[in-house]
A = this chain, B = another copy of it.
C-alpha cells in the first residue's frame, strides 16, 4: 500500500490537528503507511496543547497530489474546507462529526461519522474497536481536542460518548480534565495581541447555502467586549476578506466560553434569512444576541441552511 496523508480542515483547530495525528497513529499501528499533516499552523490554543504534552505540530501542506495518490480526511468532509487539490487524489477514508455536504466519491470508501462533540471521541472508540492502546501523550492531545470542541463538555454538541472519552483519556494522560481544560480554553482567548484580520480567519469555515457563499467565523473569549470595543477594525477586516474571497455574507460569532453565550456580527447580503434563522432583527450595531449559542455546527449552520433554502 502506498503512503497516505491524513489531515483535518483548513484553519485547523485543536481537533483538526489532533484527530489527524491520532488516526494516523492508529492506522500505522494497524499496518498502514500514513503521515498526519495539517492545512495550516496551530492556533494559540493548539500551541498550548502541543507544548503541554511536548508534541510536535504536524507538517503544513497546501497541496497533496504532488506527494500521494490517496488521502484520509478527519474532522471535515466539505470540499471548500479541504485541501485545494483534493479532486486530484482519492479520498479513501473519512472520520468526522459534521454534516455531509459537497462531498462525492467515485469509489466506495470507509466513512465513519457520528453526531458527537468531537472527532477525537470517535477515534477513541476506533482504538478500542481495533484493540490498540492509546499512548499517554496521544491521550492528552485527544483529551484536549474534546475539551476544545465541546468547551469542556458544555456545548450542546456534547454526548455521553464525549463524556466517557474525556474520563478515560484524562486518566491515561494523568491530568485533571477540569483544571487543565480551563487553562487550555483560556490559552485560546488571547485576543488583544492579534489584529482583527487574524482573528476573523483563525477559526472560520465557508458554506454554500442556497448558492450563497457564506463565511462563519468564531472567536472564543472571556469577555465579548474585548472584541466589540474594536468593532470598526473588525468591520474593515471583514469587508476586505469578503471582497478578496467573494463571500456573500460574513457571520462572526463572538463566544464567551465562561457563560456560553454568543454575540454575532453580520455583514453582507442577504440579511433577511439570517434574521429569520434567529428570529430577531440585527440591532443597530449589526449584531445578533444569541444566549446559550456556542456551536457553529449545531446552533448556527443548520439554522442558516434552512432559512436560506426557504428564501
Residue from the set A104, A108, A111, A113 with the largest chain B CB neighbour count within 10 Å: A108
The reply to whether B115 and A107 form a contact with Cβ atoms under 8 Å apart is yes
With both beta carbons as reference points, the residue of chain B lying nearest to A102 in the complex is identified as: B104
Chain A interface extent, by class: 20 to 34
The reply to whether A297 and B111 form a contact with Cβ atoms under 8 Å apart is no
A302-B106, A306-B106 known; A113 vs B111 contact (CB < 8 Å): yes
The reply to whether A100 and B104 form a contact with Cβ atoms under 8 Å apart is yes
Candidates B97, B99, B108, B302; contact of A97 at CB < 8 Å: B108
Tell me, in angstroms, the Cα distance from A115 to B297 when the chains sit together: 28
Residue from the set A100, A104, A109, A305 with the largest chain B CB neighbour count within 10 Å: A100
With both beta carbons as reference points, the residue of chain B lying nearest to A100 in the complex is identified as: B105
A205 at the interface (CB under 8 A from B): no
The reply to whether B110 and A114 form a contact with Cβ atoms under 8 Å apart is yes
A100-B100, A129-B129 known; A302 vs B110 contact (CB < 8 Å): no
A298 at the interface (CB under 8 A from B): yes
Residues of B within 8 A of A306 (CB): 106
Copies of chain A in the complex: 2
**8 Å CB interface, A54-100 against B:** 97-100
Tell me, in angstroms, the Cα distance from A298 to B107 when the chains sit together: 7
Tell me, in angstroms, the Cα distance from A29 to B109 when the chains sit together: 28
The reply to whether A103 and B106 form a contact with Cβ atoms under 8 Å apart is no
A272 at the interface (CB under 8 A from B): no
Candidates B105, B111, B129, B302; contact of A101 at CB < 8 Å: B105
With both beta carbons as reference points, the residue of chain B lying nearest to A91 in the complex is identified as: B100
Residue from the set A99, A106, A157, A298 with the largest chain B CB neighbour count within 10 Å: A106
Residue from the set A98, A107, A298, A306 with the largest chain B CB neighbour count within 10 Å: A107
With both beta carbons as reference points, the residue of chain B lying nearest to A117 in the complex is identified as: B108
The reply to whether A110 and B102 form a contact with Cβ atoms under 8 Å apart is no
Residues of B within 8 A of A106 (CB): 99, 301-302, 305-306
A281 at the interface (CB under 8 A from B): no
Residues of B within 8 A of A230 (CB): none
Residues of B within 8 A of A112 (CB): 111-113
The reply to whether A109 and B105 form a contact with Cβ atoms under 8 Å apart is no
Residues of B within 8 A of A101 (CB): 104-105
Least CB distance, A20 to chain B, in whole angstroms: 19
With both beta carbons as reference points, the residue of chain B lying nearest to A157 in the complex is identified as: B108
The reply to whether A110 and B100 form a contact with Cβ atoms under 8 Å apart is no
**8 Å CB interface, A259-293 against B:** none
With both beta carbons as reference points, the residue of chain B lying nearest to A114 in the complex is identified as: B110
- In the complex, per-residue mask of A192-226: 1 if CB is within 8 Å of any chain B CB, else 0: 00000000000000000000000000000000000
The reply to whether B102 and A108 form a contact with Cβ atoms under 8 Å apart is no
- Give the 3 A-B residue pairs with the shortest CB-CB distance, closest first: A111-B113, A108-B115, A101-B104
A-B contact pairs, 12 of them (CB 8 A): A98-B108, A99-B108, A99-B109, A102-B104, A106-B306, A108-B297, A108-B298, A109-B113, A110-B114, A111-B111, A111-B112, A129-B129
